[in-house]
Chains A and B, each alone.
Chain A
Amino acid sequence: MNANAIALNLAPLLDVRGVNKSFRKPDGDELVVLENVNLTLRPGEIVGLLGRSGSGKSTLLRLIAGLDAPTGGQVNYQGAPVAGPARGIAMVFQSFALFPWLTVLQNVQLGLEALKLPEAEIRKRSLQAIDLIGLDGFESAYPRELSGGMRQRVGFARALVVHPSILLMDEPFSALDVLTAETLRSDFLDLWGEGQLPIRAVLLVTHNIEEAVQMCDRLLIFSTHPGRVVSEIAIDLPQPRSTPDPRFRALVERVYVEMTARPRGEARVGPKAERFAGTGIGTTLIHVSSNLLQGLIEAVSEPPYSGKADLPAIAQALQLEADELFPAADALQMLRFAEVEGGDIRLTEAGLAFARSETDERKHLFARHLLTYVALAAHIRRVLDERSSHTAPKSRFFDELEDYMAEEAAEQTLRTIISWGRYAEVFAYDDQRQVFSLENPS
């Protein structure tokens, strides 16, 4: 059966039109998380939402579930606007979100009790769902007694038992180990393929590119800050899909290329108009440890890559998920140790020199690049140099950053710059007193 062909002829189950979502910052400015997002979900489809952290894809899922209201635009479910949690839309959570004081059976029954169904039907349907999802024999177990994989099975059973039309999945496999996730994914796809599930369409948020290509009929790729749909990729490989299949690999490669494409339309105003990330202090820095940066440089510099590597290949070799790899690659690009384009990462001369050096030399090189290319690091250093005490409180920089970004982003950016600054030994930071200084313990 070709789900796509049927889907095109049917009215959409879900229609998201021009949705915006913004939050108000402490200083009164708006922080735009989602901008003009359009999306349709037709019966028979699994649609994946892919994007880096900060692209607002989980926020979008909550808007669709009716857990939060959009600032602009509309979410229509079966032709009617969603206001508050909608019947017929169920959700599977990344953290499982099981009630720890309820047994497996009670957890599954909860959604039906809320619907005020007769007791006999509640029990019958719950046991059916438990049976279907492979939880037989665990009815009276408490979530804490189960492994992660079994817990998420409860999460699935709880969502399926209410017979929803749409199943929303928020990174449902990312808290599981690789093997467990694989088993659960293929079990789900089997049930879906056999038509055993009561659901009619699935919306999956993920940052795992292989998972997206394996499960979805269509992928929407999101940009960050603000989150917008930048491209759409149809995946028409028949199920079950095998990962070594060259067509599968080609699709994975294509997703990587799309996700590393330079953002189009650079003419936007404000601090985000920077041609290169890092040239203004308003750049949000995603936290990547200096260990990971060093590890990535070393891996790319060594054979078989010798300075240039395919991102999917290096992700597999280093066992990194996309949401870890992309920020690390971006950071190297910002520091001019590497260039990322077309799904590849290539070390610059400086990057290659870094790979050849010893610890002390690496630190010098890192410090030079940090102060040259990351405006915030240079700014902090300048302030510390100018002050006679050579100290400055964290709040000083925090307030500055808050002009550009949300509180959490500012917190994360400072955490990142502190970690890099400490590694490069360009400044020190005392967490107890929350003060930057030039003193390094010697």
Chain B
Amino acid sequence: MRLELPISVLRHRYVPGRWDVIAFILVFAFFAYLGDTAHGLTGSLAHLEAQPISLDPRYLPGYAAQTALRMLVAMGASLVFTFTYATLAAKSRRAATVLVPLLDILQSVPILGFSITIVFFLSLTPGRVAGAELAAIFLVFTSQAWNMAFSFYHSLRSIPDELDEAARAFHLGPWLRFWRLEVPFAMPALIWNMMMSMSGGWFFVVAAEAISVGHTTVTLPGVGSYIARAIELRDLTAIGWAIAAMFIVILIYDQLLFRPLTASADWFRLEQESGLTPTRSWALTMMRRSRLLLLGQSMFGAVLLGLHRGPPRGPRPARASHGGGTRLGDAAWYAAVTAVVALAVWRIGHFVLGQVPLSEVGHVVVLGSFTLLRVVVLIALASAIWVPIGIYIGVRPALARAAQPIAQFLAAFPVNLLFPIVVSAIVVLKLNPNVWLSPLMVLGTQWYILFNVIVGASSLSADLKYAGENLGVRGWLWWRRVALPAVFPFYVTGAITASGGSWNASIVAEVADWGHRHLTAAGLGAYIADATSAGDFPRTVLGITVMALFVVVLNRIFWRPLYARAERKFRVG
């Protein structure tokens, strides 16, 4: 028998190569950056206030680095949350009865609604920057974690039977099963959701760095507070610099984090899906080629395996029954859950209605329907524009290859950077804010529609295209019978994301400042934004609750049936 090790297994023949040099520089640059940026954490708030944000572009790289680090920490926290929360929800039937609906609600709560927690975080470390940093990071976290957790939960629940059986038949313990089956299987969807989360995060970090709740004002050094300062001083040049800085930061994130991730996600896919052009990434190539990083990877693998080995255990105990738990236990659990929910509802009702007249609740619902009208009209408009363009691009592979990363990038770009420009235009041209502030809501979210339609149109198989041509299907008939049905399921997915994002954006988009000019459009978003900045907690809670209800109801009665229909009708076989 031959016992020759394959090249990839040999580790001792270590000779540094070209990729190693690049990897070495990048890794140590990263450590230096971490140390440098994190060092301000221990300072005091008073010291921070003594150093106001400077609009000098020389300071921008430093600000951008701090903003980027906040994003990174928040993303790490979101991942930890995802792995624990979603795993618990997927593995425990009882926990799932609470955790899954809770996640659904959390997902529909507008991100800025969480800003009422800022006071709590500041109280953790009185007078110190750390508390403010925690608050900002937590706010970013709330914009990232929910959909990631949902995606992971969904993946855990849809692990193919045969892989599950193989894992059990070969005695994979929970630890090994998690890292060898569950995480890799969930990876492609999780990465996609991380990217969406990241763009939500950019959108929000800008708002989270310079936020005031009532009398509490936090101004952390970062791109966000730079922009806030620029708006205050009506400095369009500074805004231009900020946009440039943001552009570069997002480009770096894209190149160093998301490109490698999406490229490696292709390896996790069960089947080669058509239509998705494989992503190329030099950073991934570096990781694959650099022996230094390979060494790091294999050490990481060894640690995972070492943790798995642990202390040797006795014989495996007999498997618990499939039902899991007794009826009495169930009854006690549900009773406890009901009691807690009832108490929470009573507390919230008491808190809100104690200070807000009942008539105002009706008024808030009316404001909600204004915002609903905006969302519906804007999504319809965005669809009318982007669906045909997406199809046009998607059926031309060369064009799609070029457009896909651009659409992805645009989706990640925080459009609130463009707000000042739009707002100054509204002020100068004396336009009606009720109408002209609205487009800001879809500015960032429309790309999801474009991106999904491109993917859908490029997945239209070559055979179907040829069959259409062969039958002479052209013009309007082609759109009606071939293109539109083919992209429909993809479009629905994109539109759901876009609609959810637009609700969120309404809080930022329905009010806008330019210097001392304060523009407001009548709507639920403006209501929440005003209540938040006035430090009026009962009204903030009321607004958030109503908005969450609007989103949940809209999802249930409109998007979910549409999605089910798309799934059923347009599936072959």
- CA A140 – CA B5 in complex, angstroms? 11
**Pairwise interchain contact A97-B319, C-beta atoms closer than 8 A:** no
User: Which chain B positions have C-beta within 8 A of A99?
Assistant: 163, 166, 180-181, 184
- CA A162 – CA B1 in complex, angstroms? 18
**Pairwise interchain contact A67-B168, C-beta atoms closer than 8 A:** yes
**Pairwise interchain contact B3-A127, C-beta atoms closer than 8 A:** yes
**Pairwise interchain contact B269-A97, C-beta atoms closer than 8 A:** no
Task: Tell me the count of chain B residues lying within 8 A, CB to CB, of chain A.
Answer: 39
CB interface residues, B 390-430, toward A, < 8 Å: none
User: Are A131 and B2 CB-contacts (below 8 A) given A90-B170, A97-B162, A111-B171?
Assistant: yes
- Does B173 count as interface, using CB distance less than 8 angstroms? yes
**Pairwise interchain contact B165-A110, C-beta atoms closer than 8 A:** no
- Does A387 count as interface, using CB distance less than 8 angstroms? no
**Pairwise interchain contact B162-A87, C-beta atoms closer than 8 A:** no
- CA A287 – CA B433 in complex, angstroms? 62
Nearest B residue to A124, CB-CB? B3
**Pairwise interchain contact B9-A123, C-beta atoms closer than 8 A:** yes
**Pairwise interchain contact B162-A114, C-beta atoms closer than 8 A:** no
Task: Tell me the count of chain A residues lying within 8 A, CB to CB, of chain B.
Answer: 44
- CA A69 – CA B321 in complex, angstroms? 9
**Pairwise interchain contact B171-A85, C-beta atoms closer than 8 A:** yes
B386, chain A: closest CB distance, angstroms: 27
- CA A147 – CA B569 in complex, angstroms? 32
**Pairwise interchain contact A90-B169, C-beta atoms closer than 8 A:** yes
**Pairwise interchain contact A116-B169, C-beta atoms closer than 8 A:** no
CB interface residues, B 139-194, toward A, < 8 Å: 162-163, 165-166, 168-173, 176, 180-181, 184-185, 187
User: Which chain B positions have C-beta within 8 A of A113?
Assistant: 176, 305, 308
B368, chain A: closest CB distance, angstroms: 33
- CA A131 – CA B271 in complex, angstroms? 27
User: Are A91 and B316 CB-contacts (below 8 A) given A101-B267, A101-B268, A128-B1?
Assistant: no
- Does A144 count as interface, using CB distance less than 8 angstroms? yes
User: Which chain B positions have C-beta within 8 A of A140?
Assistant: 6-8
**Pairwise interchain contact B184-A83, C-beta atoms closer than 8 A:** no
- CA A116 – CA B171 in complex, angstroms? 10
- CA A142 – CA B305 in complex, angstroms? 21
CB interface residues, B 260-315, toward A, < 8 Å: 267-272, 305, 308-309, 312
CB interface residues, A 37-92, toward B, < 8 Å: 62, 65-67, 69, 83-85, 87, 89-91
A181, chain B: closest CB distance, angstroms: 19
**Pairwise interchain contact B171-A83, C-beta atoms closer than 8 A:** no
**Pairwise interchain contact A97-B163, C-beta atoms closer than 8 A:** yes
User: Which chain B positions have C-beta within 8 A of A69?
Assistant: 319, 322
**Pairwise interchain contact B169-A84, C-beta atoms closer than 8 A:** no
- CA A110 – CA B305 in complex, angstroms? 11
CB interface residues, B 350-367, toward A, < 8 Å: none
- CA A432 – CA B6 in complex, angstroms? 54
- CA A404 – CA B176 in complex, angstroms? 42
- Does A296 count as interface, using CB distance less than 8 angstroms? no
**Pairwise interchain contact A115-B319, C-beta atoms closer than 8 A:** no
**Pairwise interchain contact A62-B6, C-beta atoms closer than 8 A:** no
User: Which chain B positions have C-beta within 8 A of A124?
Assistant: 3
A87, chain B: closest CB distance, angstroms: 7
User: Are A115 and B168 CB-contacts (below 8 A) given A101-B268, A136-B2?
Assistant: no
- Does B318 count as interface, using CB distance less than 8 angstroms? yes
**Pairwise interchain contact B168-A85, C-beta atoms closer than 8 A:** yes
Nearest A residue to B301, CB-CB? A106
- Does A341 count as interface, using CB distance less than 8 angstroms? no
- Does A344 count as interface, using CB distance less than 8 angstroms? no
B484, chain A: closest CB distance, angstroms: 16
- Does A100 count as interface, using CB distance less than 8 angstroms? yes
User: Which chain A positions have C-beta within 8 A of B185?
Assistant: 101
Cβ contact of A162, chosen from B168, B170, B173, cutoff 8 A: B170
Q: Mark B2-22, 1 if CB is under 8 A from A, else 0.
A: 110111110000000000000
User: Are A131 and B1 CB-contacts (below 8 A) given A85-B169, A110-B180, A116-B312?
Assistant: yes
- CA A408 – CA B267 in complex, angstroms? 34
**Pairwise interchain contact A84-B184, C-beta atoms closer than 8 A:** no
A-B pairs with lowest CB-CB distance, top 9: A84-B319, A97-B162, A111-B170, A97-B166, A101-B184, A83-B318, A139-B6, A114-B171, A91-B169
Known: A90-B170, A131-B1, A140-B7. 4 other contacts (CB 8 A): A101-B184, A101-B185, A110-B170, A110-B180
22 example contacts (A-B, Cβ-Cβ < 8 A) are as follows A62-B165, A67-B165, A67-B168, A84-B319, A85-B170, A91-B166, A91-B169, A93-B162, A95-B162, A97-B162, A97-B163, A98-B166, A100-B267, A105-B6, A110-B172, A113-B176, A114-B171, A115-B171, A116-B308, A116-B312, A128-B1, A144-B271
Seen from chain B, the residues whose Cβ lies within 8 Å of a Cβ on chain A are: 1-3, 5-9, 162-163, 165-166, 168-173, 176, 180-181, 184-185, 187, 267-272, 305, 308-309, 312, 316, 318-319, 322, 569
